[in-house]
């Protein structure tokens, strides 16, 4: 019994101390239902996960903050299940809150109707475009708010994997080289 408790302690503290997030509704409770107050998560380099179950009466709204020097490279659908409708709504907007759901229109949010057929896919290849959401992949540092919702009463479950990598910026040596070379080429072109 003591060994089991110690192991459980290691597992739980491991999750709490991990730099990447692994949010499981089973362990940590239902994600926020409120667009004005999403469950706030901060990502780190590597694979960050959210495991959630939604229904028409239980929207799941959460924000993901990408720290400076990093980018959100992929959102992979790792698992999905809905035995009735077979799909659910999943979308995002820029910022730490979501526009009021009751007044939201399709063009207000980048979204996809996700289903089992997309398991293994990077959802950035399927999201619609919206003026209120930066086009992916490789979302820069900032906060993005996600909305997972099943429109029917039948629950949908999903595991999302947010892959964060170092932001792709030109190396300082490349910039320095460009600074040295550019005046040279400009002089030559004028000659």
Least distance to Ca ion, CB of residue 39, Å: 8
For residue 164 the two structure tokens come to 């964060």
| CB neighbourhood size of 87 (10 A) | 19
Instruction: Note the residue count of the chain.
Output: 191
Least distance to Ca ion, CB of residue 139, Å: 23
Examine residue 58 and tell whether it contacts Ca ion (CB under 5 A). yes
Q: Cβ distance 77 to 162 under 8 Å?
A: no
Residues 165-184 contacting Ca ion, CB under 5 A: none
Site string for Ca ion, 4-33 (x = CB under 5 A): --------------------------xx-x
CA gap 79, 59 in Å, rounded: 18
Site string for Ca ion, 31-50 (x = CB under 5 A): x-x-----------------
What values do phi and psi take at 98, rounded to 5?
-110, 145
Query: Which one of residues 35, 60, 87, 150 is an interface residue with Ca ion (CB under 5 A)?
Result: 60
């Amino acid at each position: 019994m003591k060994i089991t408790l110690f192991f459980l302690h290691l597992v739980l503290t491991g999750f709490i101390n991990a730099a990447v997030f692994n949010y499981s509704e089973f362990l940590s409770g239902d994600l926020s239902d409120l667009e004005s107050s999403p469950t706030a998560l901060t990502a780190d380099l590597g694979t960050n996960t959210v495991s959630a179950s939604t229904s028409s009466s239980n929207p799941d709204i959460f924000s993901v903050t990408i720290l400076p020097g990093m980018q959100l490279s992929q959102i992979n659908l790792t698992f999905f299940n809905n035995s009735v409708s077979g799909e659910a709504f999943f979308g995002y907007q820029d910022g730490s809150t979501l526009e009021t759901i009751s007044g939201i229109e399709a063009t207000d949010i980048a979204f996809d109707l996700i289903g089992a057929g997309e398991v293994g896919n990077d959802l950035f290849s399927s999201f619609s475009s919206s003026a209120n959401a930066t086009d992916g992949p490789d979302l820069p540092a900032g906060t993005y708010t996600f909305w997972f919702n099943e429109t029917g009463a039948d629950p949908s479950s999903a595991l999302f994997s947010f892959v964060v990598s170092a932001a792709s910026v030109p190396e300082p040596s490349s910039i320095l080289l460009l600074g040295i070379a550019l005046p040279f080429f400009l002089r030559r072109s004028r000659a």
